[in-house]
Amino acid sequence: MTDTPDSSSDPHAPKAQNVNLLRKFLNGTEIDTRLLGMFGALALIWLGFHFYGLIFKGFGAMLTPRNLWNLSVQTSSIGIMATGMVLVIVTRNIDLSVGALVGVTGMTMGILQAEIFPQYIGLGHPMMWVITAICGIALGTLIGSFHGWLIAYRDIPAFIVTLGGLLVWRGTAFLANNGKTISPLDDTFKLLGGGPYGTIGATGSWIVGLLACAVVIFMLYNGRRKRSVHGFAKRPMWGELTVGGLSCGMIIGAVLLVNAYPWPKGIVKQYAAANDITVPEGGLFISHGFAIPVLILLTVGILMTILVNRTRFGRNVFAIGGNPEAAALAGINVKWMTLKIFALMGALAGLAGVVASARLNSATNALGLLDELYVIAAAVIGGTSLAGGVGTIYGAILGALVMQSLQSGMVLIGFDTSIQQIVVGSVLVFAVYLDNLYRKNAK
């Protein structure tokens, strides 16, 4: 064998050099192309809707702090569930019941905080929100465990169990309060859904942002140190700096963005009156900052990423997805794992129920309707393979953001619900097709 020719002797040198540069960038930073593709899709959607608005309506509403802030809040409950759906799909299962679980847990929490708990601890008790949320999450966990038990220990396919669950729990949510809506909810509970008061303000957001940057830098440093210990190949220094710079840049950009969105005048007036502040002539600029549900999503995302990448549980989940027989032969209790995965999915659906009902400040039996489809779509668009064994948490959260961006972009430019459905459906199918192409090329 002779040496493979390098790019200098290549007749298509300029093009090859570009390709090499990109390859070198990707290798050096270890950014995978799928992540890049997701950011590309997101940028495309955001710019597309913005300029569509700008050109045809005279106003681009997509890329405003207000809209992007709303987008972050709207993404929360789907994003929370999508992280759990990754594990479900990775192990070659599916959960069609998550939307109905949001409904039934939301409804139950509504009844608990409006009718049951006040009898014992009084309306507006400061602990009301915690107790209610814990009950909701516990109920989700319980139902998820039951589904998991039917699937793992009674060998009923997940598709059937959770399809049944979808109907059963949606029906239960209706019966629970005879179809009546419960509103308003507890004042503190409500903050979990966002809204002007359900935010951490400018200072809080800076603290969160800078903390996040510190964590990113620490993780890069620690990763490098670990590779040194074992003498493995390290990223080139410029690669580390690029990754660190990009990540911190995005975090700080997000902080600037959420801080650029002020409270509406009415809220400011109300707040000023309540706190004896005089509003100056030009009005008072009070930033929203990060919304609490977004922080919940980020926390869930981080914890789930640790669970998936750094624990035995996560490793075993992927082993089961890659080869269930091999996992069983390696001594992994596949049934028990399956039950736990569905329990976790149920818990996350309960948490999403908290966020969704708090955001609406009401519990209705239609809460979370069709969420299962958005959640599955988010996971799949985020690179989770329905064949099992492949998927990432960050991908699923980005997938949720992509889905929500599409949805909200279409609302902004005034598309009907029917057209929205057509577009979302087509995009899902197209995304999976693109994913297939990507996988084939990657091989």
Partner 1 sequence: MTNERTGTPLVEMRDISISFGGIRAVDGVSLDLYPGEVVGLLGHNGAGKSTLIKCLSGAYQADSGKFYVDGQPATINSPRDSRDLNIETIYQTLALADNLDAASNLFLGREITTPLGFLDDGQMEAETRKIIARLNPNFKKFKEPVSALSGGQRQSVAIARAVYFNARILIMDEPTAALGVHETEMVASLIKELKNQGLGIFLISHDTREMMDLCDRVAVMKNGQLIGNERVEDVTEDDILSMIIMGKNPKAAA
Report phi then psi at 256, rounded to 5: -60, -40
**Collapsed DSSP state (helix, strand, coil) of residue 120:** helix
- We find the least distance from the C-beta atom of residue 314 to partner 1, in angstroms, to be 8
Binding mask 198-217 toward partner 1 (x if CB under 8 A, else -) reads --------------------
Q: How many residues bind partner 1 (CB under 8 A)?
A: 28
**Collapsed DSSP state (helix, strand, coil) of residue 326:** helix
DSSP 8: G
Q: Which residue has the tokens 């996992």?
A: 327
Contact between 356 and 110 under an 8 Å Cβ cutoff? The reply is no
Q: Does residue 184 have a cis peptide bond before it, meaning omega lies within 30 degrees of 0?
A: yes
Q: Give the CA radius of gyration of the chain.
A: 24
Q: Report the residue from 255, 390, 397, 400 that binds partner 1 according to the rule CB under 8 A.
A: 390
- We find the least distance from the C-beta atom of residue 385 to partner 1, in angstroms, to be 9
Which one, 193 or 321, has the nearer CB to partner 1? 321
- We find the least distance from the C-beta atom of residue 443 to partner 1, in angstroms, to be 8
- We find the least distance from the C-beta atom of residue 333 to partner 1, in angstroms, to be 8
Residues 102-161 that bind partner 1 (CB under 8 A): none
Q: Compute the distance between CA of residue 407 and CA of residue 122 in angstroms, rounded to an integer.
A: 40
In this chain, which stretch among 3-11, 103-111, 226-234, 369-377 interacts with partner 1, using CB under 8 A?
Answer: 226-234
Strand-pairing partners, residue 182, are 363
Q: Compute the distance between CA of residue 355 and CA of residue 364 in angstroms, rounded to an integer.
A: 13
Contact between 341 and 308 under an 8 Å Cβ cutoff? The reply is no
Q: Report the residue from 232, 281, 437, 441 that binds partner 1 according to the rule CB under 8 A.
A: 232
Which one, 440 or 443, has the nearer CB to partner 1? 443
Residues 50-109 that bind partner 1 (CB under 8 A): none
Sorted by sequence, the CB contacts under 8 Å of residue 128 that are 6+ apart come out as 113, 117, 121, 186, 188, 189
- We find the least distance from the C-beta atom of residue 331 to partner 1, in angstroms, to be 4
- We find the least distance from the C-beta atom of residue 321 to partner 1, in angstroms, to be 7
- We find the least distance from the C-beta atom of residue 68 to partner 1, in angstroms, to be 34
Q: Report the residue from 15, 24, 224, 227 that binds partner 1 according to the rule CB under 8 A.
A: 227
Which one, 230 or 440, has the nearer CB to partner 1? 230
Q: How many CB atoms lie within 10 A of CB 366?
A: 15
**DSSP line for 48-82:** HHHHHHHHHTS---TTSHHHHHHHHHHHHHHHHHH
| Residue 312 interacts with partner 1 (CB under 8 A): yes or no | yes
Contact between 420 and 433 under an 8 Å Cβ cutoff? The reply is no
Q: How many CB atoms lie within 10 A of CB 234?
A: 14
Q: Report the residue from 127, 315, 422, 430 that binds partner 1 according to the rule CB under 8 A.
A: 315
Which one, 12 or 440, has the nearer CB to partner 1? 440
In this chain, which stretch among 32-40, 125-133, 206-214, 321-329 interacts with partner 1, using CB under 8 A?
Answer: 321-329
- We find the least distance from the C-beta atom of residue 322 to partner 1, in angstroms, to be 3
- We find the least distance from the C-beta atom of residue 300 to partner 1, in angstroms, to be 18
Strand-pairing partners, residue 291, are 199
Q: Compute the distance between CA of residue 320 and CA of residue 317 in angstroms, rounded to an integer.
A: 5
Q: Report the residue from 21, 219, 306, 429 that binds partner 1 according to the rule CB under 8 A.
A: 306
| Residue 224 interacts with partner 1 (CB under 8 A): yes or no | no
Q: Report the residue from 152, 327, 341, 351 that binds partner 1 according to the rule CB under 8 A.
A: 327
Contact between 128 and 121 under an 8 Å Cβ cutoff? The reply is yes
In this chain, which stretch among 14-22, 139-147, 303-311, 340-348 interacts with partner 1, using CB under 8 A?
Answer: 303-311
In this chain, which stretch among 164-172, 184-192, 251-259, 315-323 interacts with partner 1, using CB under 8 A?
Answer: 315-323
Q: Report the residue from 46, 318, 342, 374 that binds partner 1 according to the rule CB under 8 A.
A: 318
> ∠ at Cα 14 (13, 17), nearest 5°?
80
Q: Report the residue from 319, 347, 376, 410 that binds partner 1 according to the rule CB under 8 A.
A: 319
Backbone dihedral region for residue 159 (phi beyond 0: left; psi -120 to 50: alpha; all else: beta):
alpha
Sorted by sequence, the CB contacts under 8 Å of residue 155 that are 6+ apart come out as none
| Residue 330 interacts with partner 1 (CB under 8 A): yes or no | yes
Residue ranges in contact with partner 1 by CB under 8 A = 226-227, 229-230, 232, 306, 309-312, 315-316, 318-319, 321-323, 325-332, 389-390, 443
